[in-house]
Structure 1
Amino acid sequence: MSDTTAPKDGAPAEELQAPAPAGPAVPEIAGTPVRPELRVEVISHHSGQFGAADAGDTTGYGLTRSAVTLAPAATRPYGGWFDDAVDALVEDLRASGVDPAAAIEKVVVEHGELTLFIAREHLLDVVAPLRDDQDLRFELCLGVSGVHYPQLAGRELHACFQFMSLTHGARMIRLEVACPESDPHVPSIVSLYPGDDWHEREAWDLMGIVFDGHPHLTRSAMPDDWVGHPQRKDYPLGGIPVEYKGATTPPADTRRSYR
């Protein structure tokens, strides 16, 4: 009886071995793997069920542990038009001499929405083709909002820009830029999207994100002499004096100009 496991036609035995099972896909940008620390960013850890820390636990829930994370980096295919949009942006960045993997930190797909995390030094490099490329054409910026993650060391402040393409049927894309509390600077995009002027003012006023290059970054909601940024999570929630007491509204002809 012949040995059915023997190589046929003189083929080496290793050629007949089953291929090794593939491991989990690693998210990447233009062939470069996403940095491990950015694939899943852990914001905090929770223990217990109800958050009561002033008494002993009698429910057993005190043994539960959970991690609060940002949405993980996505792997291809992203789905729908997302792959084509990212490919077009990567092509534009390469054409302008920018390394796509240095500009785009990671791609996130969650709840049917596309978010690109962008390195702040390359924000304008990304925003320009996002507006001008005929395959992208995100002509409308819907504004910027700020998020504060006090426990996300070195990336505590996030500026989230939302864009819409009227040319391509109201497609939506989000750019998210992270910066540390110790250096809360992000480039302003007002030179490309003038309508973002007041949104950036508000994000600076309430969250303390400084938009470099903004034509006139001033308080928009709080008084000029207000100390701090009241939408940060470490801002005191109570027990402070009523800071508006005695405030006055100056005559219209003496107010500062916003132009």
Structure 2
Amino acid sequence: MTEENVQADGDGQPEQVQEVARAKRAPLDLVDVRTGMFGAAGTGDTSGFGGLVRTIAMPGPSERPYGSYFDEIVDLLAEVLGEQGIAFDDAIEKVVVFRDELSLFVAREHLPAVARALRDDQDLRFELCLGVSGVHYPHDTGRELHCIYPLNSVTHNRTVRLEVAAPDADPHIPSLVEIYPANDWHEREAYDFFGVIFDGHPALTRIEMPDDWVGHPQRKDYPLGGIEVEFKGATIPAPDNRRSYS
């Protein structure tokens, strides 16, 4: 990464820094320089972070005009996946923009590669995954189980949703714990309540229901029953007999 055209004002503060992020990509203009804890001097920015603004969304028109900054995210993701030898149309089954929210429907075998690209590329930088939510659609034949991962970029103040599906007959989805470690408990919860098996999870055990619970209570086909029946005769084991997590 290089810096060009650094100019100083009367206080010796840089007015503008142009950074070339990657070859074949438009430059980034650092338009608000952070000064102290109250944001950028002389601007309305009070966030304390300043702002990076891309002068041109992409070199040339986007092939995927989704509007807002969505086309930039999709184009960058397609470029990064292409560098790994993964065709965008193979990894992403569908792109949906609804109510100013971008959702990428990901083929489950490519989920880790897509998540890693969104996290690691400097122009994407989705550093946070806010967990995983399970959904059960019994009538969506071959895609009954869905998992949704909301991602957030602190660097660029952007959000995107990843959605991946698996059939009831083969409820396996790659775990993202290695990429987003905080997903550990969230994936266990989705397994507990929906029966999604996250391949590669370090300790995929129930987190809410007892270990010997039969079924997954938040699935649409789970029979309604009374708690007094389910827990009849239940006891709490002594601490030295409880399950070890080590």
TM-score of the superposed pair, with normalisation by structure 2: 0.72
Matches within 5 A, 1:177-196: 177-196=164-183
4+ long deviations beyond 4 Å = none
- Per the alignment, in what secondary structure is the counterpart of residue 131 of structure 2? strand
Alignment match of 2:212 (pick from 225, 231, 236): 225
Instruction: Name the counterpart of 2:133.
Output: 145
- Deviation track 1:125-144 (CA, whole Å, cap 9, x = no partner) reads 10111100011100011000
Give the match's secondary structure for 1:238: coil
In our comparison, the structure showing a higher alpha carbon Rg is: 1
- Pair 1:159 & 2:163 matched: no
Give CA-to-partner distance per residue, 1:95-132, whole Å, 9 cap, x none: 00111110000101111111000000000110111100
1:106 and 1:97 mapped to 2: Cα distance? 19
Deviation, structure 1 residue 213:
0.3
Unmatched tracts of structure 2, length 5 or more: 1-62
Q: Does 1:88 align with 2:80?
A: no
1:107 to 85, 88, 95: 95
Give me the CA root mean square deviation: 1.5
Indicate the residue corresponding to 2:242 in structure 1.
255
Deviations 1:182-215 (A, max 9, x none): 0000000001110000000000000000000000
Partner SS for 2:151: strand
Question: Could you tell me how far apart the structure 2 residues matched to 1:167 and 1:254 are?
Answer: 46
Confirm whether residue 214 of structure 1 aligns to residue 210 of structure 2. Answer: no
Rounded to whole Å, the distance in 1 between the matches of 2:77 and 2:98 is 20
% identical aligned pairs: 66
For 1:129, the equivalent position in structure 2 comes to 117
Aligned to 1:10: none
TM-superposed CA distance for 1:76, in Å, is: 4.3
Residue 46 of structure 2: aligned partner: none
The answer on whether the counterparts of 2:64 and 2:75 sit within 8 Å (CA) in structure 1 is: no
Residue-by-residue CA offset, 1:49-91 (whole Å, 9 max, x unaligned): xxxxxxxxxxxxxxxxxxxxxxxxxx94211111000111000
Cα distance in structure 2, aligned partners of 1:97 and 1:241: 55
> What is the total number of aligned residue pairs between the two structures?
184
The reply on whether 1:198 has 2:185 as its aligned counterpart is: yes
Counterpart mapping for 1:25-44 below 5 A: none
Question: What is the one-letter code of the residue matched to 2:85?
Answer: G
Q: TM-score, normalised by structure 1?
A: 0.68
SS of 2:182's partner is helix
Match in the other structure for 2:12: none
Distance 1:238 1:253 in 2: 32
Q: What is the DSSP-based 3-state SS (H/G/I as helix, E as strand, rest coil) of the residue aligned with 1:143?
A: coil
Provide structure 1 residue ranges, at least 5 long, that are not aligned to the other structure. Answer: 1-74
